[in-house]
Structure 1
Amino acid sequence: MSTSRRPVAPEIFQQPVMLDGQTLRIEACWLGPAAAVQDPQQPLIVFLHEGLGSLSQWRDFPARLCEALEMPGLVFSRPGYGHSTPRTEPWPQDYLQRQARGLLPACFAALGLADRPLLLFGHSDGASLALLYAAHAPAHVQGLVAMAPHLFVEPVTLLGLQAARTAYEQGESLRKALARHHADTDSAFYGWNDAWLRPGFEAWNIESLLRGRLPCPVLAVQGVHDEYGSLRQIEAIAELHDDTRLVALPDCGHSPHKDQPERLIAGVRDWLPGRA
């Protein structure tokens, strides 16, 4: 009889968060040994998902990265996504800036992380959010991985958004795929898609909010064949922040953690502040 054991799936819990007088429900899970998770001096990797993402859509990548780096982690679905509180109104066009100033501090306080050193790992919208939060709370962030970030809107970005809307409204595969990860698929899809396609959003740009304000080393990663943005996105980070390492992954689209997970993990391990 085999004595091998399957890895224990991390326990997902619901965390109440107070924001603007409203109680939000956030689905979250901790990764790593309990002693490391509970140690307030131990840096914690916080994973911030993309505009259509959620806790479950990361699959096993956060656990793999935490294991490779020997660090604890936190994965959660922002409101409007996964099994967190659904969105009740349209996202404003500055929703990422607002979430960096309000939602993330509220979540971190509710989870007892107000003074915890953090390594932020953001994907797409989550990468932009990680950059904005680091600029807003510089004492809180020790390092930052920005994967397929958006600093400004490009024509290819709008084309990708329009293609996604067509697929969601006229086909079945995208809607069914999202339904596996979101309790309310319209909340997840239209919150993101409506905000970006609303007239005027083509002028959205966060470069001025980041220039001279990022407090930590940044690893900026993008797939060469990213369908939502060009390499100008990560190059712009290097232009406004000297302590930036750029990684352009070949044979890779908008989701390096799915297309090139081993290369990505190796790149983060090589870059990680204090380990190089």
Structure 2
Amino acid sequence: MLILLLGTAGLAAFGFSQLVQDQAGPVAFLALGTGAVLSILILCGFYMLQPNQAAAITLFGDYRGSDRVTGLRWTWPWMMRKKVSVRANNFISDRIKVNDLRGNPIEMAAQIVWRVVDTAQALFDVDDYRAFVNVQVEAAIRTIGSRYPYDDFEHQEVTLRGNHDQVGSELRAELIERLAVAGITVDECGFTHLAYAQEIAGAMLRRQQAQAVVAARQTLVEGAVGMVEMALDQLSAKNVVELDDERRAAMVSNLMVVLCGERDTQPVVNTGTLYQ
């Protein structure tokens, strides 16, 4: 078509030169008119496609196909071309408040990498595919957020905080299903923000602190019981001292106080007998 454009432009130039040389005649007028009209028609049919760019072609409102070949392209001038980028787009959603499986309000935000795979669906099946992506991302986050609890202190359930990979995979599958109608796929997604809402953040922090204290106490008591048992067994095995049940209970009590106390104990020296 470039060669044809050069030919028609040359024909128009030939007719114009004949008119300039006062050699006006039917041949000159015909060459100038034909060359000019054909040159304009051919020139209007050219368009350019950049890498990762596509063009949807329509004829009087009828979809005729998509062109994904990059470079200088040409089609009939009366066929409309609408370009669509098929590059990857990175989108970070706003923080939204969601109720998790237990009804606790949490704040969530996600990062989505999406791209157009079907230009016809993106242009003609939805009104604005970019706005459609924004709305569906928020809807998918709310769906996934209400499907799982934020946290499980007993570590027996799938949670939003403890199972990022699994929850992220489900979010991606949910988005792909929702965006398929617009010819859009999701390459990657993940949470960028996940936390309790401000109105319950303080209460949940105290609960976590209490759970941590209980777990620490449990570990401390288990270790103290083992140490007391080991001390009594070694004293009995080496015949260091003979203790009756009452004095054995007193020694166990004193050792547990020493081992489980939060402050350093002050020793009391008994200068009398064992029973005074």
State whether TM-score is above 0.5: no
Larger relative contact order (Cα-Cα within 8 Å, sequence gap ≥ 6)? 1
TM-score, length-normalised on structure 2? 0.16
TM-score, length-normalised on structure 1? 0.16
Larger Rg over CA atoms: 2
Instruction: Considering fraction of residues, name the structure with more helix.
Output: 2
